[in-house]
Structure 1
Amino acid sequence: MDIDLCFTVVQPAPDGYESAVPLVLIHDGGGTSVNYYYLHSLDRAVYAIQNPSFYSGEPWEDGIPEMGATYARLIRSHVPAGPILLGGWSLGGMISLEIASIFSRQSSELRVLGIVMIDSVYPLAPKPAGRTIVPHKLQFGKFTKPETQRLSSNCMAQAVEMAQTWTIPVWRGCTDETEYIRRAAFEKELSRKMKTNHPESEEHNEIPMRDLAALPQAILLRCNETVPVSTPEDPTAICRVDVARDSEKLGWEQYGYDFISAVLQIPGHHFNIFSDEYLDDLTSRIKVACRMLERTNI
């Protein structure tokens, strides 16, 4: 799939909101950006990125960091300058961290003002003691083609694996030198590969630990329900996305950076927040989150 076709305009800026900071929403684990088109007006330009490997089914060799590097190039080609907001549902919030990390290291006219994380759970959160994690059977609309269901399920399986093996970005305030060295080595190798495939890419710029950029602020939209699990034979069973549901910040406290400045509750569970009954609430919370980040950082 032509990668430029993966960057789409979800909502043009309405009249009177041309100066609002644009929001770029990254696809969830299923690989598509279709759910973002159901949102009501967010009073700003809204863009979306779909997984370029959705139709081919090819895995990302270097996981979430490779996705972030690829999407950063894509964003820069469409929104070359100015402040932007990043965000996304589930995996989309994680990829947003990668994109923000890349923009913080590269010379760019773009500045990430903040991140809107839509029920993105810290992927390295440990399983609660005494609980069994069960896979969630994806639910599709009645008009979703079987082939689309297959492709989305494949993307979801790959997303779970990538999240669990993610070499997560490090930022100002990092105190774990081993983690810094591991991430720096990973970035250097990924940059070499990107340069080979895209000669116009910037040369790798290794940042000393003391000079790491600050992690942009984020607003976390948090579901107030758990995903129903029909396993009567095992009352301890929970869905993977609920392993940190008892944590106010969905486990991100364990990341080591105090970057989530507010948590906004949204009705529903992880997999039904884009249903018709919750769209008004979800749209409202995203709108509030964007305005909060604008007020704090402009």
Structure 2
Amino acid sequence: MPGKDSKEGKNKNQILADLAMADARRMIQAWTPPVWDEGRRPRISLLRAKKAVPSADGTDLVDWSREERNLGWDMYDKNFFADVVDIEGHHYEVFKFEFIEDISNKMKKALDDLEWVALDG
């Protein structure tokens, strides 16, 4: 099939993404979340893809905690995110041209909200 580079039918970008995810998994296993003094933790917004990644062989790694609103981050801190913003597409396509307006508007609003709190607080 044209554009396919492996026996699994993945293209070059999918293979590179898999390698990057393997590196990320390795790094996160040794990661210890920072601990902030009360009221000093920076505010964080999570941009959450609305769709799951299509996968012929089960659930893609980035979707393992998809059923959880905070995508599994609650195991570190139940109040980790100031806001969770749903964006169009799945994890690997949120920056596709057809979704640029959506993600741009939502990122701007999330950043404006974070800045407003920082300036107000």
TM-score > 0.5, shorter chain as reference: yes
AA aligned to 2:46 is L
| Alpha-carbon separation, structure 2, partners of 1:290 and 1:219 | 8
Higher Cα Rg, which structure: 1
> Unmatched 5+ residue regions in structure 2?
1-9
**Relative to structure 1, is the Cα distance of residues 222 and 165 closer, same or farther in structure 2, using a 3 angstrom cutoff?**
same
| Alpha-carbon separation, structure 1, partners of 2:60 and 2:70 | 17
| Alpha-carbon separation, structure 2, partners of 1:276 and 1:222 | 18
AA aligned to 2:24 is A
> Unmatched 5+ residue regions in structure 1?
1-136, 141-148, 174-212, 232-236
Indicate the RMSD between aligned Cα atoms, in angstroms.
2.5
Q: Does 2:99 correspond to 1:278?
A: yes
| Alpha-carbon separation, structure 1, partners of 2:32 and 2:11 | 27
AA aligned to 1:216 is P
**Relative to structure 1, is the Cα distance of residues 261 and 138 closer, same or farther in structure 2, using a 3 angstrom cutoff?**
farther
Which of 263, 281, 293 matches 2:84? 263
Indicate the SS of the match to 1:260. Answer: coil
Counterpart in 2 of 1:164?
29
Q: Does 2:48 correspond to 1:222?
A: yes
CA contact (8 A) 1:221 1:265 kept: yes
**Relative to structure 1, is the Cα distance of residues 138 and 171 closer, same or farther in structure 2, using a 3 angstrom cutoff?**
farther
CA contact (8 A) 1:216 1:259 kept: no
| Alpha-carbon separation, structure 1, partners of 2:55 and 2:76 | 28
CA contact (8 A) 2:74 2:80 kept: no
Tell me by how many angstroms 1:242 deviates. 0.8
Indicate the SS of the match to 2:59. Answer: strand
AA aligned to 1:245 is R
Indicate the SS of the match to 1:290. Answer: helix
**Count of residues paired in the alignment:** 110
